[in-house]
């Protein structure tokens, strides 16, 4: 589908996270081509798009996990385009990758206690277990003993202790049973109520619309559209063209 991009400069909005003209490479492969995104404090924002659109690379570029970056990446009005990954994490951004990264030989509790606390305001174990009662029941179970849904819950729960205010979640509903997807959705809405800000990569549009305030649509490493959740009904025709939903 041909897309008419607005190439005019985008002014700063004072958002918690601001991406302006973000470019990213893996080796010689140029993946992101001038991404402009705002995420305001307390929002849940999704990145939608087909496979290969650049959604995951956007999260990885925010964390400094791509080979090279250019453009502007501001968190809490601080420019971080040249900041190391470990310092980005310590600034209050946490990343939950699609592959989850659960330590198989550690118990649920040990996995939860592993990441360092980088700022005040993280959730304690008791609160995390309230949010994820399944994990409380499996507190002493090794990572290898968990179902896919339990591993996803653990991957999300693990970053809540750190004190990070911005959570980057990559495909949290991928491959999960509908009842687990519903539970993940409830958890994301609860995290928003607790003051967390979430940038969420999703291919499951029907899940995304149950949790998000706004949606950015990506194609070929660019943002090509933005839709408020309240405007979804009026936007379904063009979203269908982008996503095939």
Percent of all residues in the chain with a pLDDT value above 90, rounded to a whole number:
70
The full set of domains in the chain, from first to last, is: 17-243 (3.40.50.300)
Q: Any idea what the Cα angle at residue 119 is, between residues 92 and 168, rounded to 5°? A: 25
pLDDT score of 204: 84
Bigger pLDDT: 77 vs 2: 77
Over range 10-14, report the average pLDDT.
Answer: 56
pLDDT score of 8: 39
- Closest by CA to 108, choosing from 60, 63, 161, 59, is 161
* pLDDT for 236 beyond 70: yes
Tokens of 14: 């004072």
* pTM for the model: 0.90
* pLDDT for 140 beyond 70: yes
End-to-end Cα distance, the chain: 15
* pLDDT for 1 beyond 80: no
Tokens of 15: 């958002």
Q: What is the pLDDT of residues 182-214, one digit of tens each?
A: 999 999 999 999 999 999 999 888 899 999 999
């Amino acid at each position: 589908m041909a897309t008419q991009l607005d190439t005019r400069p985008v002014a700063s909005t004072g958002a918690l996270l601001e991406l302006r003209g973000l470019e990213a490479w893996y080796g010689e492969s140029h993946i992101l081509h001038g991404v402009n995104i705002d995420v305001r404090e307390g929002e849940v924002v999704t990145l939608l798009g087909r496979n290969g659109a650049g959604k995951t690379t956007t999260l990885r570029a925010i964390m400094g996990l791509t080979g090279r970056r250019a453009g502007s990446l501001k968190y809490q009005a601080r420019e971080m385009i040249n900041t190391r990954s470990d310092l980005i994490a310590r600034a209050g951004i946490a990343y939950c990758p699609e592959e989850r990264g659960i330590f198989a030989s550690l118990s649920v509790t040990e996995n939860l206690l592993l990441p360092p606390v980088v700022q005040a305001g993280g959730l304690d174990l008791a609160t995390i277990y309230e949010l994820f009662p399944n994990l409380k029941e499996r507190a002493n179970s090794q990572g290898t003993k968990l179902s896919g849904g339990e591993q996803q819950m653990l991957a999300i729960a693990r970053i809540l202790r750190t004190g990070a205010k911005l959570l980057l979640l990559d495909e949290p509903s991928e491959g999960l049973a509908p009842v687990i997807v519903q539970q993940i959705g409830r958890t994301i809405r609860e995290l928003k109520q607790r003051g967390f800000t979430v940038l969420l990569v999703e291919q499951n549009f029907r899940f995304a619309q149950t949790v998000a305030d706004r949606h950015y649509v990506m194609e070929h490493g660019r943002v090509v559209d933005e839709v408020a959740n309240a405007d979804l009904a009026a936007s379904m025709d063009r979203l269908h063209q982008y996503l095939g939903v």
